[in-house]
Amino acid sequence: MLARGSTNWILVPLLIGIVAISFSYYLVAAAFICLTVFLVVFFRDPERTPRGDGMISPADGVVMHADKKVTISMNVHNVHVNRAPLPGVVKRIEYRKGGYLPAFHKDSDRNERNNITIETEYGDVEVTQIAGILARRIVCYVNEGDMVERGQRIGMIRFGSRVDVTIPDEFVVSVNPGDRVKVGESMIARRPG
């Protein structure tokens, strides 16, 4: 399965590659066919099933920070579709333009970002999509007032980025910096007991 809105990104280089073959520009064709393969891999959106009953990861990647907020760094090899960590209602969406520093950089707070606040039965959970050095577009799939299920697709960040998610007080973080997590599948926090 491919991410929503990815068809044109994939078809354009594929068509250029086919046209290049028809004019015997094999080197150009090979470059565009390789680009097409890269984009198919990048825009993949596999089905995922949550493991356990806790809060699931909103992103693929490596955990950079794990406390009352979990920060996940995504690279070009990760799935870039983001998912709701808990069920609830989308209370607020705040988009802010900004720069494109590396997502792990200390000044990345000035980067382009989209903050999705989900009102859950445990309190508000904020999922913040942050563009990185290669990312040039944050796409939001939900609107304010939408009901979302745990694991539902809520957006995507194109070409490398970071996702931050706040942890409700009733939950205990179950990941550590350096852990690899899978979007919609890995548990990042659980309720004790």
Catalytic residue numbers, as ranges: 161
Query: What is the spatial distance between Cα 40 and Cα 61, in angstroms, rounded to a whole number?
Result: 18
Q: What is the CA radius of gyration of the chain?
A: 18
DSSP string, 14-62: HHHHHHHHHTT-HHHHHHHHHHHHHHHHHTB-------SSSEEPSSSEE
Tell how far CA 96 is from the center of its chain. Answer: 17
CA atoms within 13 A on the CB side of 149: 5
CB of 90 closer than 8 Å to CB of 117 = yes
The DSSP symbol for 9 reads H
Q: How far is CA 42 from CA 46, 56, 81, 91, 182, in A?
A: 11, 21, 10, 30, 15
Residues in the chain: 193
